[in-house]
Amino acid sequence: MAAELAAWRNRVSAAACPPDEAQLVFAAPPSTALPDEESSHVMKRNLLVAAGGLITVLGLLFILQGTGLVKGSPMTNSHFWIYGGAVIAIAGAAILMLGVRTPRAR
């Protein structure tokens, strides 16, 4: 069945397009593919930004729980979580900035 489908596609594309364009009917546009090095660099930047943002938000949540503004956990009104949350939020902000400030691949 796959061979019949491929043969039908070749006949249809050859009949609908001049011979030189018939080969391009099923090809992906060249501008959509990123080189391996550039795509891994972009993925690393996105991962750093996402992880840094998540860690920063969690650190801020821990600060709010430590101060008692967010209730409902054993962390509520615990001074340890005020300071621990601040350290975690600062570390997350540093990771976030590392991802944002990493130069783009050329």
pLDDT tens-digit map of 36-60: 777 778 888 999 999 999 999 999 9
Q: Which structure tokens are listed for 6?
A: 């491929």
Q: How confident is the model over 2-30, as a mean pLDDT?
A: 59
Q: Which structure tokens are listed for 38?
A: 């550039």
Identify which of 43, 2, 7, 72 has the alpha carbon closest to the alpha carbon of residue 64.
72
Highest-confidence range of 5-19, 29-43, 86-100, by mean pLDDT? 86-100
**pLDDT for residue 68 is more than 60:** yes
Count of Cβ atoms closer than 10 Å to residue 34 Cβ: 13
pLDDT averaged over every residue in the chain: 80
* Separation CA 98–CA 82 (nearest Å): 24
* Separation CA 70–CA 2 (nearest Å): 59
- Would you call 73 helix, strand, or coil by DSSP? coil
pLDDT of residue 58: 97
* Separation CA 21–CA 40 (nearest Å): 33
Q: How confident is the model over 14-26, as a mean pLDDT?
A: 54
**What percentage of the chain reaches a pLDDT higher than 70?**
66
pTM to 2 decimals?
0.62
State the amino acid at position 74 in one-letter form.
P
